[in-house]
């Protein structure tokens, strides 16, 4: 197999694994945070404003790890530097 197809294959497989594994952890974390916030709102409905605000900010912070994985996966598929390098080598 030449290097172009190896790089293409490895990039696509690894980007799939990146987004699959990288979204598992934040999904668990966000589910736990949401469950805790729901039970807290059920116990103290008066504080739902503060709880909701803290929940949104916290969820966005938890979610940012998944977003990093997503950005890495996108770079691997759409803007892969190694792929560009090999294409330039072959072309030039």
Partner 1 sequence: MEFNPDNIIYWQWDFVKINATLIYSWAVILLLWISSWLITRNLTSGPGLSRWQNLLESIVSIIQDQIREASQQEPQKYLSFIGTLFLFIVFSNIITIIPGTSAPTASLSTTAALAACVFVAVPVFGIVTRGVKGYLMQYVKPTPFMLPFNIIGELSRTMALAIRLFGNIMSGTLVVAILLSLAPLFFPVIMQVLGLLIGFIQAYVFAILALVYIASATRVHGENNNQDTTGSFKQSI
Taking the least distance from each CB to partner 1, the nearer of 8 and 54 is: 54
CB of 22 to partner 1, least distance (A): 12
Taking the least distance from each CB to partner 1, the nearer of 56 and 85 is: 56
Per the CB < 8 A criterion, the answer to whether 77 and 12 are in contact is yes
Question: 2: left (phi > 0), else alpha (psi -120 to 50), else beta?
Answer: beta
CB of 68 to partner 1, least distance (A): 6
The site for partner 1 (CB under 8 A) is made up of 50, 53-54, 56-57, 60-61, 63-64, 67-68, 70-71, 74, 78
């Amino acid at each position: 197999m030449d290097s172009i197809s190896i790089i293409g294959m490895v990039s696509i497989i690894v980007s799939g694994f990146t987004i699959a594994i990288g979204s598992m952890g934040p999904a668990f974390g966000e589910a736990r945070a949401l469950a805790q916030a729901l039970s807290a709102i059920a116990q103290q409905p008066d504080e739902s404003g503060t709880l909701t605000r803290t929940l949104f900010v916290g969820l966005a912070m938890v979610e940012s790890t998944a977003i990093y994985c997503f950005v890495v996966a996108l770079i691997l598929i759409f803007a892969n530097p190694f792929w560009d390098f090999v294409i330039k080598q072959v072309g030039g």
